[in-house]
Structure 1
Amino acid sequence: MENLNGLKRTHYCGDLRENNIGEEVVLMGWVQKKRNLGGLVFVDLRDIRGICQIVFDNDISEEAFEKAEKLGSEYVIAIKGKVFERQSKNPNIPTGDIEVFANEIKILNKSQTPPIYIKDDDEVSENLRLKYRYLDLRKPSMQKNLILRHKVANIVRNYLSENNFLEIETPFLTKPTPEGARDYLVPSRVNEGKFYALPQSPQIFKQLLMVSGMDRYFQIVKCFRDEDLRADRQPEFTQIDCEMSFVEMDDIIDIMEKMIQRIFKEVLNIDISVPFPRMPYKEAMERYGSDKPDIRFGFELKNISDIVKDCEFKVFSSTVENGGSVRGINVKGYADKFTRKNITSLEEYVKTYGAKGLAWIKVTNEGVTSPIAKFFSEEKMNQILDKMEAKEGDLLLFVADKDKVVFDSLGNLRNEVAKRLEILDKNEFKFLWVTEFPLFEYDEEENRYVAMHHPFTSPVDEDIEKLENDKENVRAKAYDIVLNGFEIGGGSIRIHNEEVQKKMFKALGFSEEEAYDKFGFLLDAFKYGTPPHGGIAFGFDRLIMLLAGEDNIRQVIAFPKTQNASCPMTNAPAIADEKQLEELNIKLDLSE
C-alpha cells in the first residue's frame, strides 16, 4: 500500500463541473466500478460528495496503467489528472459532463469483496446492513441522510442561539425515578449496591436550570428508554430539548413554530405557514382516534352509538349498553378497491389493537352490501348512512368496544387504509398542535392513575382543585406538535409552585416521604424562588426521518439498534467480564 507522501486533495469527486475543464486536479476516494476496455480503463471514483469518471489510457506510465487494471471494488485510491469535457455525457450524475484523465495513481488501500453492495437499491436484509454498517454508510442515500442530520442540527443551534437560548449540558449519570418508561441502570463501583440511571430526558435538570436563572436553555441530547421498540423508536435517541422562563404556552409555541419554519425553508426550500392549527386532545380522539392524527386525508371517525343502541345487532347494542361505543370511518370513494379478502385482512389488523372484529357496509348503485344489513331496518340503515355521510362507492368500517379499543383500532386503521391505497404524499407536510391533554391516565396494570406526560406538568389553573377527587377530568397545560401522523415534539408548562408539586405527587400515590426520597432536590429548589417556566422536546431522529422521506428511523441514525435493542455490528449488549462484575459486587442468577 502507498502513502500520500504530500499529495493534497484539490477537489471532491462530486464537485467537478464544466468550469473545471483544463484544470489539474487531485481526487481521492473509493472505486465504485471499473471497466477495462483494453487500452482504456474507466473508473467511477466515489467520495462523500459524489462520483466522477476517471480515465486511464496509454499516456500514463506502464506501471500506473497496470495499477489501474488491478483495481477492485472499494479500493481506496488517489489520482492526479486533468479535467476534460466528456465525449459521451451522463445526464444521470452531476459530474456527467466531464471526466478526468489520470496521469498518476496511488493505491492507498485494497479491499476484499464487500459482503453488501455499495448502492442504494441493494435489497440486502436490514440485519446484514447493520452488521456491516460502516459499509452501509458508504451508500449515497445514507450519507445524504447524515449530512441532512448535521445541517438540521446546525440550523437548530443557530436559531436558538439567535433567540437567547444557552446550550448547557446535563448529566448522563442520574438518579433512578419511578415514573415513565423503564430506566437503563448503571451500577456504581464506588457506591456499593447503588445505581445510576441513564436519563429518559433532562427534565428535572432543565427545570433546575430555570431555577438557576439561566432563562433559556437548549441541548441536542441523547436520551435512553428501556422500552419495546418500533420502526420509529430506539433505546437511545436524540432530543432537541428546550426550556424557557417567564413564558406561557403561546410564547413557546410561537418560537418553536418559527424554528420549524426555518428548518423546512433551509433544508427543503418549502415555505411552511404559521401559526399551525391547534386541536384539543378530546377533539383529536373523537375525530381521528389518535392524539397524533395525520390530517393529510379524511376518513374521520363518526360515533353511531345513539343510532344503534337499541338495534337487533347485539354486537353493537350490547357494547353501548355496557358503556362502550360504536364508531366508524368512511373510506370515501374506494369501496371497489376492497374485496372481502381485503376486508378480512383489515379485520385481522384491528384485532392487533384489541378489537374483536370489524363490521363493514359497502354502498353500491344497487343499495348497501353488508353481512350485518339484515339486522337493521331501512330507517336505521338510512340513519347510519346519513351519520357516516355515505354515498355510492363508499366503504364504511365499524368497531364496537370500549372507547380506548375503538380509538386505538380505528385511529390506526385509517392510517393503514390510507397507506394501502397509496394516497399519502411524502412531500406534503401537515402540522398540528394537540392541546389540553388529560393530566392523568389510568394504568390498569398498576391499578392507579399515572402522569400522561410526566409528574412536573402543570394542571390547568381551574382544575387544580380536582387533583384529589376528580383526576379523570384534570386537564394539563401540555401540547404536542404532530406532523403527518407522527408526534415530533411535546412539552408543557411546568409546575413551579412547591405546594402544587406536592399535591401532584400525592395524586400520583406518593407519600410525602417517597416524594422527598425521589424528588427532594427539586422540591427543595422550589423553596428558593422559582420562575414560571415551560418547555418542549423534539424527537430529533423522527424529525430527520420525515425530512428525509424515510419510513424507518434507523435510516437516519449512524449506528442504530435493532428491534430487540441489540447491535449486530458490535454484538452489544454482551456478557460482562467476571472481574468487572466482582468489582461491582454483582452476581448473576440466570436460572429460570
Structure 2
Amino acid sequence: MDIKNIYRDKTIDKMTEADVGSEVRLAGWVENIRDHGGVSFIDLRDMYGVMQVVLRDTALLDGISREQAISVKGLVEHRDEETYNPKIPTGTIEVEAHTIDILGKVYEQLPFEIMTSKEVREDVRLKYRYLDLRNERVKDNILFRSKVISFLRKKMEDMGFVEIQTPILCASSPEGARDYIVPSRRYKGKFYALPQAPQQYKQLLMVSGFDKYFQIAPCFRDEDARADRSPGEFYQLDFEMSFATQEDVFKIGEEVLTATFKEFAPEGFEVTEAPYPIISYKEAMLKFGSDKPDLRNPLRIIDLSEFFERCTFKPFHGKTVRAINVPRKLSKGQHEKMLKFATGIGMGGLGYLEVLEDGSYKGPIDKFIPDELKEELREKASLNIGDTIFFIADKEAQAANFAGQIRNELGARLDLIEKNAYRFCYINDFPMYEIDEETKKPGFTHNPFSMPQGGLEALTTKDPLDILAYQYDIVCNGVELSSGAVRNHDMKIMEKAFEIAGYSKDVLEKKFGALYNAFQFGAPPHAGMAPGVDRMIMLLRNEENIREVIAFPMSGTGQDLMCGAPNEVTEMQLREIHIKVRD
C-alpha cells in the first residue's frame, strides 16, 4: 500500500523544471527570509538542496523565523529570467506558497549564523554541533565521509576480505596506559577496557581460519588531541591476512589507498601510483628527520658528522651534524626568521653557508673549513652557485628531530611544497626495542606482537637495540595514515620477545592468554595494517583539523561539550560497580 508522506512529496534535489505547473509539498529549514515589499521570499533548505519559496500572501510569514522546520505546499513555477540563480540546481524554478505549517519552532536566539558557523569559535560550534552540522560545508564533510567508508567496504569485499565485528569490551593489556577502563558490576574489583585497536581479536580470527578479515573498526585511546588526532576515539580500516608476507600487505595497502584517493581526490590532484617508495626507518630519520616524511618537500638532509670532525669548528666536534642544501639565495630577513624559528624550537643557533658566484663560500663558519675540504663539501652536499646550506648539530636523536623541523619550515616558508598531490610511501624496518626512559631497560618500540627480523636467533644472539621488526607505516603528505606488522605467530619467539621487554611467561599467559594459547594450535603466519579513516578523509577534504570530518567530535581538551561528557555519576551508580572516588 502506498502511504503518502504528510510533510513532503519529494526532496528538493528531485525538483526540476518538469514540475512547473504542479502542486508540491516540500519540507526543510528556513535558511533565509527576504522581504521585497509586498512579496517575500524564503530559502527553504533540506539535506539535499535549496528551493526558493515565494510568498505573495505575506500573512503566511506570521510566526516564521530562520532555522524553523516547516512544510510548504504550493505551486511550482518558473522564476523570472533575470532572477535565475545558477549557483543552485533549482535556480530556474520556485514554489509559490499556498500554506506553510511550522513543524519545529525556534524558541531561543541562534548562537551563531548557520552559513558562517565555520568562522565561529570551536567550543561554541561543538556545544551546538547539531546546528553547526546544518552548515553546508560541515554537512558535506560528513556525507563525503559516508561515501568514502562505503567505497572502502566495497573495495575490501572485492578483494576477498570478510567484514567481521570484534568486541568493544575487552581485557586491558600491560602497556594499556592509555586504555579507557570500564568497571564490572558483576565481578568486584575487575575491569574491562575499550580496545585501543582490535589487535588480539583479528589475530585470533587468523588462527580461526578466516583468511582475510577487515572492519571499519572503532578504536579508543585516552590521548591528547592534535590537529591530526581526535582524542578518545577514532576509526580505522583494520585488515589482516593469513599466509601473508610484508610485501603482500603492501600490495593490498597500495591498491585500496590508491583507488580511494583517486576516486575522491579533488580535481587536478595527483596520487602516487603503486608500488609506493619504501624507506627504512633509519633512512627516513637521516634524510627527512622524521618517520613521517612529506615527500612533496624536495629538500633532503645529509649527514656531515665525520666531515666536521676534520674541520676546526669545535662546537660541532663530537656531535651529529646534519645539513640541508636549499637551492636558492636567502635574504637577510629570511635568515633572521629561520634563526628565530630555530631558537624557538630549542636550538642554540643555525649555522649556514652561501655559495657565491665564484664558487667560494660566505657565512659564519666558512673560516673553520680548511681550503682542502671545501671541494669535498661541495660534492657531499651537491652545492651549486647560489645555494644556501644550513647546519644542525646536536646529539643524534635531537639533531635528526631539529633537522626535520628545519626542513619542514624551509619547505613551507620558501613555498617548495608540491601542490595538488598526495605522495605516499612506506616506512619499514623499525627497531623492535628501545630503552625505556624510566626503567632504563629495553621496551617495545611499537607493536609488541610484531615478528622480529631474524626470529628466535636474533632475539637470543643480538643486542636488543639492533633487532629490527617487520613493522611498517604508510605515510601520506607527512601524515601517518597506517601502522602495521607481520605478526609474531610463534609461541617460543613470543616468549623470548616479551622476556627481553621485561614480561615473564606468567604475565604473557595472564594478559595475553588467548593469543598465547591459540598459538599452540597451528597458528598461520599472518600480517596486516590499519589505515586511519579519519585521517584519510581529513587529507581528502584538505582540512587542517581532524575534528572537521567527524560528526560529533570531542573538543581539543577531550570533552563532549554538547552532551557534557565526561560527567559525574551518582553515589548509587558508583556503589553498584564497586568504585569509590578518592579526593
- TM-score normalised to structure 1 length: 0.90
Identity of aligned residues (%): 41
Q: What amino acid maps onto 2:126 in structure 1?
A: L
User: Is the 1:437–1:476 contact (alpha carbons within 8 Å) kept by the matching residues of 2?
Assistant: yes
- What is the alpha-carbon distance in structure 2 between the residues aligned to residue 177 and residue 29 of structure 1? 49
Q: Secondary structure at the match of 1:220?
A: strand
Matched, 1:249 2:241: no
Matched, 1:192 2:185: no
User: Is the 1:73–1:113 contact (alpha carbons within 8 Å) kept by the matching residues of 2?
Assistant: no
**Residue pairs, 1:378-393, within 5 angstroms:** 378-380=371-373, 383-393=376-386
- What is the alpha-carbon distance in structure 2 between the residues aligned to residue 275 and residue 232 of structure 1? 26
Q: What amino acid maps onto 1:359 in structure 2?
A: G
Match of 1:322 in 2: none
User: Is the 1:137–1:143 contact (alpha carbons within 8 Å) kept by the matching residues of 2?
Assistant: yes
Match of 1:84 in 2: 78
Instruction: Evaluate the alpha carbon distance shift between residue 41 and residue 365 of structure 1 in structure 2; reply closer, same or farther with a 3 A threshold.
Output: farther
Instruction: Evaluate the alpha carbon distance shift between residue 547 and residue 513 of structure 1 in structure 2; reply closer, same or farther with a 3 A threshold.
Output: same
Match of 2:293 in 1: 293
**Residue pairs, 1:464-479, within 5 angstroms:** 464-467=457-460, 469-479=462-472
Match of 1:230 in 2: 226
Q: Could you list the per-position Cα deviations for residues 329-374 of structure 1 after superposition, in whole angstroms to 9, with x for gaps in the alignment?
A: 23332623953441233213432xxx44433334465965534444
Q: Could you list the per-position Cα deviations for residues 505-529 of structure 1 after superposition, in whole angstroms to 9, with x for gaps in the alignment?
A: 1121111222212112211111111
**Residue pairs, 1:57-456, within 5 angstroms:** 57=56, 62=57, 65-68=58-61, 70-81=63-74, 82-87=76-81, 88-111=83-106, 112-120=108-116, 122-179=118-175, 182-234=178-230, 235-268=232-265, 272=271, 273-319=273-319, 325-333=320-328, 335-336=330-331, 338-351=333-346, 355-363=347-355, 368-380=361-373, 383-424=376-417, 427-456=420-449
CA deviation after TM superposition for structure 1 residue 555, in Å: 0.6
User: Is the 1:440–1:471 contact (alpha carbons within 8 Å) kept by the matching residues of 2?
Assistant: yes
- What is the alpha-carbon distance in structure 2 between the residues aligned to residue 182 and residue 446 of structure 1? 19
Q: Secondary structure at the match of 2:555?
A: coil
User: Is the 1:467–1:504 contact (alpha carbons within 8 Å) kept by the matching residues of 2?
Assistant: no
Q: Could you list the per-position Cα deviations for residues 53-93 of structure 1 after superposition, in whole angstroms to 9, with x for gaps in the alignment?
A: 22212xxxx4xx32326432212112123042452222333
User: Is the 2:228–2:546 contact (alpha carbons within 8 Å) kept by the matching residues of 1?
Assistant: yes
Match of 1:31 in 2: 30
- What is the alpha-carbon distance in structure 2 between the residues aligned to residue 479 and residue 148 of structure 1? 28
Instruction: Evaluate the alpha carbon distance shift between residue 425 and residue 308 of structure 1 in structure 2; reply closer, same or farther with a 3 A threshold.
Output: closer
CA deviation after TM superposition for structure 1 residue 18, in Å: 4.4
Of 522, 534, 538, 1:529 maps to 522
Q: Secondary structure at the match of 2:302?
A: strand
Q: Secondary structure at the match of 2:531?
A: strand
Q: Could you list the per-position Cα deviations for residues 122-174 of structure 1 after superposition, in whole angstroms to 9, with x for gaps in the alignment?
A: 52111111111111111111111111111111111112222222221111221
- What is the alpha-carbon distance in structure 2 between the residues aligned to residue 418 and residue 221 of structure 1? 35
User: Is the 2:7–2:27 contact (alpha carbons within 8 Å) kept by the matching residues of 1?
Assistant: no
**Residue pairs, 1:51-62, within 5 angstroms:** 51-57=50-56, 62=57
Instruction: Evaluate the alpha carbon distance shift between residue 396 and residue 46 of structure 1 in structure 2; reply closer, same or farther with a 3 A threshold.
Output: farther
Q: What amino acid maps onto 1:237 in structure 2?
A: F
User: Is the 2:195–2:219 contact (alpha carbons within 8 Å) kept by the matching residues of 1?
Assistant: yes
Match of 1:497 in 2: 490
User: Is the 1:466–1:473 contact (alpha carbons within 8 Å) kept by the matching residues of 2?
Assistant: no
Instruction: Evaluate the alpha carbon distance shift between residue 371 and residue 529 of structure 1 in structure 2; reply closer, same or farther with a 3 A threshold.
Output: same
User: Is the 1:24–1:83 contact (alpha carbons within 8 Å) kept by the matching residues of 2?
Assistant: no
- What is the alpha-carbon distance in structure 2 between the residues aligned to residue 20 and residue 271 of structure 1? 41
User: Is the 1:252–1:535 contact (alpha carbons within 8 Å) kept by the matching residues of 2?
Assistant: yes
Coordinate RMSD, CA, aligned: 2.6
- What is the alpha-carbon distance in structure 2 between the residues aligned to residue 115 and residue 271 of structure 1? 40
Instruction: Evaluate the alpha carbon distance shift between residue 280 and residue 103 of structure 1 in structure 2; reply closer, same or farther with a 3 A threshold.
Output: same
User: Is the 1:426–1:549 contact (alpha carbons within 8 Å) kept by the matching residues of 2?
Assistant: no
Matched, 1:515 2:508: yes
Q: Secondary structure at the match of 1:527?
A: coil
Instruction: Evaluate the alpha carbon distance shift between residue 401 and residue 423 of structure 1 in structure 2; reply closer, same or farther with a 3 A threshold.
Output: same
User: Is the 1:201–1:223 contact (alpha carbons within 8 Å) kept by the matching residues of 2?
Assistant: yes
User: Is the 1:261–1:271 contact (alpha carbons within 8 Å) kept by the matching residues of 2?
Assistant: no
Structure 1: tracts of 5 or more residues without a match:
320-324
- Range with bigger deviation, 433-442 or 499-508: 433-442
Instruction: Evaluate the alpha carbon distance shift between residue 517 and residue 25 of structure 1 in structure 2; reply closer, same or farther with a 3 A threshold.
Output: same
**How many residues get paired?**
573
User: Is the 2:298–2:416 contact (alpha carbons within 8 Å) kept by the matching residues of 1?
Assistant: no
Q: What amino acid maps onto 1:242 in structure 2?
A: F
Q: Secondary structure at the match of 2:317?
A: helix
Q: Could you list the per-position Cα deviations for residues 13-50 of structure 1 after superposition, in whole angstroms to 9, with x for gaps in the alignment?
A: 34544455445433221122111011111222222223
Instruction: Evaluate the alpha carbon distance shift between residue 313 and residue 67 of structure 1 in structure 2; reply closer, same or farther with a 3 A threshold.
Output: farther
CA deviation after TM superposition for structure 1 residue 99, in Å: 2.7
- What is the alpha-carbon distance in structure 2 between the residues aligned to residue 9 and residue 113 of structure 1? 27
Q: Secondary structure at the match of 2:485?
A: strand
- What is the alpha-carbon distance in structure 2 between the residues aligned to residue 34 and residue 392 of structure 1? 64
- What is the alpha-carbon distance in structure 2 between the residues aligned to residue 283 and residue 482 of structure 1? 14
Q: Secondary structure at the match of 2:393?
A: strand
User: Is the 1:177–1:518 contact (alpha carbons within 8 Å) kept by the matching residues of 2?
Assistant: yes
- Range with bigger deviation, 24-33 or 376-385: 376-385
Instruction: Evaluate the alpha carbon distance shift between residue 342 and residue 181 of structure 1 in structure 2; reply closer, same or farther with a 3 A threshold.
Output: farther
Instruction: Evaluate the alpha carbon distance shift between residue 196 and residue 86 of structure 1 in structure 2; reply closer, same or farther with a 3 A threshold.
Output: farther
Q: Secondary structure at the match of 2:25?
A: strand
- What is the alpha-carbon distance in structure 1 between the residues aligned to residue 215 and residue 399 of structure 2? 38
User: Is the 1:245–1:534 contact (alpha carbons within 8 Å) kept by the matching residues of 2?
Assistant: yes
Instruction: Evaluate the alpha carbon distance shift between residue 233 and residue 78 of structure 1 in structure 2; reply closer, same or farther with a 3 A threshold.
Output: same
Q: Secondary structure at the match of 2:204?
A: helix
